[in-house]
Chains A and B, each alone.
Chain A
């Protein structure tokens, strides 16, 4: 399994490095959205609930771009069939795609979070970083698992560009709620505190439940 996941992950990253079809688009989208918020809100800075909401909604929509592209190369170039013909555990593809999407999200956040701090955020990020990193990691894991599941389903339909976001958004709403609630106290202007444990726990539980659902369903999604 590890060897197969390694081979798939290496292939995914090579294809993305050659085409630059997902990560640059996701990052550019996030930065542009922050600029739009900057002017639309007509405020120099935001904090607390508003800051947290803007950050998570922007990351969510940027992630949708990556989710929509996740299986496109496999579907268009017959890579799906190539994989299905190999005598390997099909769950390897789930793990590899989740890791790929996680990698995309990490790069996205390396670009988007500093841009957010620069363009919109009032309070300094320095003290919030440990809590923010934990919250983002839990949120990313959920987005990656649900995104992979939805992308695998959508790519087999003709309306995949429409179906992907339509299926993903409702399933990702709890992650945005949990992420935003956990991040809000970290970005408060006065008396910032740590991320509330119950929201981190909610995110962790959501990740676990969807991890198990994805593991149980993924083989069926690949089947004819």
Chain B
């Protein structure tokens, strides 16, 4: 069964159409990479799949549950890494993760495990406002995978991360994690390398939807012209 099934999805903000007639299907444990210029609708698509925005038209099924009616059934099975870290600046990394662990009914030992995995344990007792953006992004990665989600929704996940940090988080959110992933990217080379399926959006409409093997980097670059 497909992990994601989207048929004729539309979403608007007031008069402005953010997504229009978007359809796709993604098998479990595969990676969909979404390309498109700013304002193309990538983040809106992620937020609809994350159950944070209601679709205004079309059918959306995530991990077998229909949105928005059965959204409650998938919430704990999704990990979202958004532009905002979804963390509190005044709390420490450990306090933030413990807070999310309680919300997701996850054992406290898992908090230490993910802190260790993103190599932030030594600074886990400092408020986030003292940490660099790259470090906060690592904590956000830890938060996104804390509850071991089946589906990862990643909005430019490597933003603010140096090469060493990317290597650190790769086993958690990369293809090797074995999770179904939807990744928004602006990096044609890197994005194509990790994609099984490519979706190109422009002004909320699908302009490219194909297996990654059949996509040329030039076609991705064309989306941004």
Q: In whole angstroms, how far apart are the Cα atoms of A87 and B76 in the complex?
A: 5
The reply on A158 being an interface residue by CB < 8 A is: no
A18 CA to B130 CA in the complex, in Å?
A: 13
Give the contacts of A1-21 with B (CB-CB under 8 A).
Answer: 3-4, 6-7, 10-11, 14-15, 18-19
B88, A86: Cβ atoms closer than 8 Å:
no
The CA-CA distance from A85 to B85 in the complex, in Å, is: 13
Interface-side segment among B30-38, B97-105, B182-190, B195-203: B97-105
Min CB gap B12→A, angstroms: 12
Instruction: Known A3-B102, A87-B104, A88-B103; judge A81-B82 contact (CB<8 A).
Output: yes
What are the interface flags for A73-87 relative to B under an 8 Å C-beta threshold, 1 for contact and 0 otherwise? 100011101111111
Counting contact residues on chain A (CB < 8 A from B), the size range is 20 to 34
Query: Are A85 and B90 within 8 A (Cβ)?
Result: no
Which residues on A sit within 8 Å (CB–CB) of B80? 81, 85
A79-B88 contact given A84-B52, A87-B76, CB 8 Å threshold: yes
Q: Is the CB of B104 within 8 A of A77?
A: no
Q: How far is the CB of A97 from chain B (nearest CB, A)?
A: 15
Across-interface contacts of B105 in A (CB, < 8 A): 3, 87
In chain B, what residue has the closest Cβ to A84?
B52
**Bound Cα distance from A35 to B89, whole angstroms:** 36
**Is residue B133 within 8 Å, beta carbon to beta carbon, of the partner chain?**
no
Q: Is the CB of A7 within 8 A of B52?
A: no
Cβ-defined partner of A83 (8 Å) among B76, B91, B103 = B103
* Complex CA–CA separation, A84 to B103 (angstroms): 10
A4 — which chain B residues lie within 8 A by C-beta? Answer: 102-103
Alpha-carbon separation in the docked complex, A77 to B52 (Å)? 16
CA distance A43 to B82 in the complex (A): 58
| Chain A facing B: main interface SS | helix
Q: Which residues of A in the span 84-98 have a Cβ within 8 Å of any Cβ on B?
A: 84-88
Whether B53 contacts A224 by the Cβ 8 Å rule is yes
Interface centre among B89, B99, B143, by most chain A C-beta atoms within 10 angstroms, is: B99
The A/B interface has a contact count, at CB < 8 Å, of 76
- Pairwise interchain contact A86-B75, C-beta atoms closer than 8 A: yes
Contacts of B78 in A (CB 8 A): 85
Known: A3-B102, A6-B102, A78-B84. A85 touches B91 (CB 8 A): no
Interchain CA distance A4-B50 in the complex, whole Å = 20
Task: Return the chain B residue nearest A6 by Cβ.
Answer: B102
CA distance A14 to B100 in the complex (A): 15
- Let me know if A14 and B91 touch, CB within 8 A: yes
- State the CA gap A19–B89 with chains docked (Å): 10
Which B residues touch A10, using CB under 8 A? 99
Q: Is the pair A19, B103 in contact by a Cβ cutoff of 8 Å?
A: no
B123 within 8 A of A: no
Output the least CB separation between B21 and chain A (Å): 20
Contact call A77/B72, Cβ cutoff below 8 A: no
* B residues less than 8 Å from A18 (CB atoms): 90-91, 127
Which of B80, B86, B95: most chain A Cβ within 10 A?
A: B86
- Among residues of B, the one whose C-beta sits closest to the C-beta of A73 is B88
Closest to A92 in B: B103
B110: Cβ under 8 A from any A Cβ = no
Contacts of A81 in B (CB 8 A): 50, 52, 80, 82, 84, 86
Q: A73–B88 Cα gap in the complex (Å)?
A: 7
Instruction: Point out the residues of chain A lying under 8 angstroms from B99, CB to CB.
Output: 7, 10-11
Given A78-B82, A224-B53, the answer on whether A87 and B87 have CB atoms closer than 8 Å is no
Q: State A100–B76 Cα separation when bound (angstroms).
A: 26
Measured between beta carbons, the chain B residues less than 8 angstroms from A73 are 88, 90
Q: What 3 pairs between A and B have smallest CB-CB spacing?
A: A87-B76, A78-B84, A7-B102
Q: Using a CB–CB distance below 8 Å, which chain B residues touch chain A?
A: 50-54, 72, 75-76, 78, 80, 82, 84-91, 95, 99-100, 102-105, 127, 143
Q: List 17 A-B contacts (CB under 8 A).
A: A3-B102, A4-B102, A7-B103, A11-B91, A18-B90, A77-B88, A78-B82, A78-B87, A81-B50, A84-B52, A85-B78, A85-B80, A85-B86, A87-B72, A88-B103, A224-B53, A224-B54
